[in-house]
Amino acid sequence: MTSTFPNISISTERLVLRPLDEDDVPALAAMMNDEQVAAWTHVPQPFTEDNAAAWIGEYAPAERTAGRGLDLAVTEFLTQRLVGVIQLTKTNWHVRATELSYIIAPWARGEGYASEAALATAQWLFGDQKFERVELRTAADNTASQQVAQKIGCISEGVLRGACIARVRTDDGVWTDVRTDFIVWSLLPEDLEGTTGQLTDTDGFTTFTDWN
């Protein structure tokens, strides 16, 4: 029998993490068209509302049902505004391990939302789901994302040379692929000891691979 993540909601002092729904389509599309999101992820550019609807209605449910992962909207508790996305992928239920990534909207950066959401997700994984390992991969030049990993207690395990494809915009405005390294980070249950939910970061992104 395939193990799957439940449809859940995770609350922090400022955020609610919940399943994506169709009402998120406009905000998700706007968020994914940001220059930094385009640079550090593999999502189509431009990212249309049709792309957002397919992600929410097809991709995310299929990933959860198949046991591969989970996609969560990150919303502000007070305003219910969509400020980001948390994604779990490449889940191994035997090893009890999964890969975590995060994207924060440009209008919500600098508030510490990335680390707050990532930490809450890791705590839920280790506590409720009895996971034993969370892995993050950050592009070598993505210092903002690396800061988030450090702030939630992740340990850098090494470098996967030439394993990441990022994107840069050329002088004529066209996005082109560039090869770079991945830094691999891990988080184990014992790494969270002493970590608080009140974290400040510059927010960032981890690569959002093979989403469609």
* 6-51 per-position pLDDT tens digit: 999 999 999 999 999 999 999 999 999 988 888 888 888 899 999 9
CA–CA gap between residue 126 and residue 123 (Å, rounded) = 5
Report residue 16 CA to chain centroid gap: 15
CA atoms within 13 A on the CB side of 194: 5
Confidence (pLDDT) at 24: 97
Please tell me the predicted confidence (pLDDT) of residue 169.
82
- Kind of pairing, strands 97-104 and 133-139? parallel
Q: Is the pLDDT of residue 211 over 90?
A: no
Whole-structure pTM value: 0.88
- Per-residue pLDDT tens over the stretch 120-153: 999 999 999 999 999 999 999 888 899 999 999 9
